[in-house]
Amino acid sequence: MSHENQEKPVSNSKSVIRLPIIISITLAAGMLLGSTFFSGGKKLTDVAKGYAKFREVLLLVENNYVDSVNTEELVDYSISKMLEKLDPHTAYFNTEEATAARSQLDSGFDGIGVEFNIYNDTVYVVTPLSGGPSEAVGIQSGDRILKVNKEVLSAPGVTNGQVYKLLRGKRGTKVTLTIERLGLKDNMNFEVVRNRIPTYSVDAAYMVDKEIGYIKVSRFSETTFDEFKSALSTLKADGLKKLVLDLRGNPGGYMERATSIADEFISGDKLLVYTEGKDSRFDRKTRSHVEGGFEQGAVIVLVDEGSASASEILAGALQDHDRALIVGRRSYGKGLVQMPIKLSDGAELRLTISRYYTPSGRSIQKPYEMGKGEDYNQDLTHRYDSGEFFNADSIKFDKTKAYKTDGGRTVYGGGGIMPDVFVPRDTLMNSKYLFELYAKNIIREYALRYANDNSKRLEKQTFDEYLKTFEVSDAMISELVKDATKSGIKLNEKELNRSKPIVQSQTKAIIGRYVWGRKHKNGLNNEVYEVLNPMDNVYQNALKLFSKASELENGNFSSLNTKKIDK
């Protein structure tokens, strides 16, 4: 599934750098960098010599090379290769990439507001975004976008990038979509006026039972703190006494949003995070200072190998102050702070200027060698191969980097946030057949078709009734398998039976989201998480650990130590 603000998942490769990176200094401060950063001294002479040499070579190539060259591409390439000699998170974005990257953290973007799939070189509308211009003009789930302003879109080799380029644009501008709709003989043209499309970062907020609440934060964007405050307020009104805060797969974002959320849990005047760099101007300390919305009540934070940067700041602050029980697997381990510096042509340099430390003094940055980014970016693969995702004993602690929480518990730095309670990755129901269904969007396409065909009947009940009573039948699975076979996926009965519970839950979740979730105006996907979480072993284990979380809150640390990790 994609939409005009598609976010790439956290992976084991350098694409991690392409995700929103924690920003501790404002862009306004970044603007000042050029005039103050290289100030005086012998090093200025070294920089001048290097610049003169590069300029000389570039001019020689431009004026004398046997073939014509694209100088701009050469410069972009040389900058990128130069930065590879530094740490793994210093990065350069050309003008186009910088614009796309910044929109990941902005409060929204301008476009027509659709989620889409590319399937067999055809662009399908998954759903119009709630409150967006496409929904307003009547674009429906399942519509095929054939042309945009008479330019053919559904064609062999169509890419996400092409779709973004054609659908995004300045608010107020018009775009004509040629749509093919099932059941209609003739194509239709829709004129859509682009507008601001809000993006959300709190994916779910619901009550698990009368006391336990669940909030899922997928990143730390411009609006995250406001979304979180609203979600927390709603849950408190519903009786919230204990909270599960899910930060799994959250790659980070604005550090200030993470510390603001930490302040909601931590009372008094306490250190939340501090940064230190070569230049003291970039050193800062952030402390709690407001009366938070949930300073009392047991808290469990879920993390995994996809939780990075700002997620680790939040989890680390809560762990160091003994405010939350950390459950899951070791987090990613990114403790370097980047300053975003907008260059004159709109490109952007994200330069590592400092390291951040949790309140106990931990740097959670995992080890790296300067200029050896390839091995660094294979770290998650190494964790998998070593068995760390499946066995707590495989986690390697650096005994020289031991620190103490407020209550005297031992925690370790140098490689992410270590969980208080380890829960292994669950792969028992995975299969090649399941992955093939995912790859060709079979489950989603079938679920959306079922929802379209049965929405009037389903809407006669509440979602809670649907959650409790609806079952994806064997007949439905048979229809889905037929779709898969038509798409060239050969049926493997054994693998299907192994993965059947996942197929059923995914199908039920997508149907629930389409029928009930699209009516929300707050970006929440509660319907999806309420269906899928009962299948999630980390979530299910967390619900059983509130006795430990309550002990932690009450200052009873005897049974809690990160050296003793449960399997």
Hunting for tokens 């084991």 — which residue is that?
12
Is 345 one of the catalytic residues? no
Which H or E element spans position 27? helix 27-31
C-alpha span between 229 and 292 (Å, rounded): 10
Encoding tokens for residue 421?
Answer: 């309670």
Phi then psi dihedrals of residue 27, to 5 deg: -60, -35
Q: Which of 309, 311, 360, 431 is catalytic?
A: 309
Q: Which residue type is seen at 95?
A: T
C-alpha span between 261 and 223 (Å, rounded): 12
CA distance readout (Å), 468 to 214, 217, 508: 18, 25, 11
Q: Which of 304, 320, 379, 420 is catalytic?
A: 320
Q: Which of 147, 216, 242, 334 is catalytic?
A: 334
C-alpha span between 412 and 114 (Å, rounded): 44
Is 473 one of the catalytic residues? no
Encoding tokens for residue 306?
Answer: 């996809």
Per-residue H/E/C for 163-213: HHHHHCCCCCCEEEEEEECCCCCCCEEEEEECEEEECCCEEEEEECCCCEE
CB burial of 460-478 (b: ≥16 within 10 Å; e: otherwise) equals eeebeebbeeeebeeebbe
C-alpha span between 340 and 85 (Å, rounded): 19
Per-residue H/E/C for 75-87: HHHHHHHHHCCCC
Is 130 one of the catalytic residues? no
Contact partners, residue 404, CB within 8 Å, separation at least 6: 360, 410, 411
Q: Helix (H, G, I), strand (E, B), or coil: what is residue 32?
A: coil
CB 289 within 8 A of CB 266: no
Rg (CA), the chain: 25
Active site residues: 309, 320, 334
